[in-house]
């Protein structure tokens, strides 16, 4: 993150087209299954029908319930169906009577999460059930909650509770602290030479190691 780019400028929503298998089609993440990734095109009637069938199976079958890639496929189908039909209600009706508006909404929101977060869902580091609650919040708070989930081993219940508090207007940092999370804290393992240099620089300058790392990242145009 560059020094002149604020948190509000970091995209907290999906940037790639709805239904496109960006994560599911990435071999580095999905392995050989990337070749089987299905794209759901909201503007293509046949693809939209396939999305409806996928949503119906996703909502009514238990097969694949522990499969994160399968979950992302289902969420993509939900999002494409909503886009193609024009509303959550119409999407639910198209998918079938056993599919609720609430189900469609929750999983379509997961598809809308930024790529950096969806990647951790695909790898299993963030449970899809936790991702549903992360997707309930908006803006930078999505990242705050996602990274806290990774760095502090938050349970799905914790994530749900924090998301609810943020949704009611609580400051994300305050909501996280109330659940035992120190926002912005992450444990980093460094090579000994780098660690020794960091500690020496911190002691010499009177700064904390975190301050020095933050300044270095702010000055690096790659961030």
DSSP string, 29-93: HHGGGGGGPPP--TT-HHHHHHHHHHHHHHHH--TTTT-HHHHHHHHHHHHHHHHHHSSHHHHHH
DSSP state of 10: S
Percent of the residues in the chain that have a pLDDT greater than 70, as a whole number: 93
Instruction: Write the CA distances from 8 to 54, 109, 166, integer angstroms.
Output: 35, 19, 17
Q: Residue 65: what pLDDT?
A: 61
Q: Length of the chain, please? A: 223
Residue 71 pLDDT > 50, yes or no?
yes
Q: Residue 41: what pLDDT?
A: 96
How would residue 3 be classed by pLDDT, with cut points 50, 70 and 90?
very low
Burial class of residue 73, CB neighbours in 10 A (0-12, 13-18, 19+): buried
Q: Residue 141: what pLDDT?
A: 95
Burial class of residue 67, CB neighbours in 10 A (0-12, 13-18, 19+): middle
Tens digits of per-residue pLDDT, 146-167?
A: 999 999 989 999 999 999 999 9
User: What does the domain layout of the chain look like in residue ranges?
Assistant: 7-135, 140-185, 188-223
Mean pLDDT of the chain: 91
Task: List the end-to-end C-alpha distance of the chain, in Å, as a whole number.
Answer: 3
């Amino acid at each position: 993150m560059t020094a002149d780019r604020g948190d509000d400028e970091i995209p907290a929503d999906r940037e790639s087209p709805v239904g496109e298998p960006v994560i599911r089609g990435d071999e580095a993440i999905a392995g050989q299954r990337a070749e089987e990734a299905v794209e759901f095109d909201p503007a293509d009637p046949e693809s939209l029908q396939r999305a409806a069938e996928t949503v119906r199976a996703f909502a009514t079958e238990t097969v694949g319930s522990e499969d994160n890639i399968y979950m992302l496929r289902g969420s993509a189908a939900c999002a494409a169906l909503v886009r193609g039909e024009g509303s959550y209600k119409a999407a639910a009706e198209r998918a079938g009577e056993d599919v609720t508006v609430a189900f469609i909404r929750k999983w379509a929101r997961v598809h809308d999460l930024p790529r950096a977060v969806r990647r951790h869902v695909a790898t299993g580091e963030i449970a899809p059930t936790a991702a549903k609650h992360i997707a309930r919040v908006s803006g930078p708070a999505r990242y705050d909650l996602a990274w806290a989930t990774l760095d502090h081993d938050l349970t799905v219940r914790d994530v749900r509770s924090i998301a609810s508090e943020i949704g009611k207007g609580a400051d994300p940092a305050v909501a996280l602290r109330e659940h035992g999370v120190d926002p912005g804290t992450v444990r980093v393992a460094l090579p000994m030479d780098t660690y020794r240099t960091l500690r020496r620089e911190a002691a010499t300058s009177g700064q904390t190691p975190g301050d020095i790392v933050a300044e270095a990242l702010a000055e690096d145009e790659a961030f």
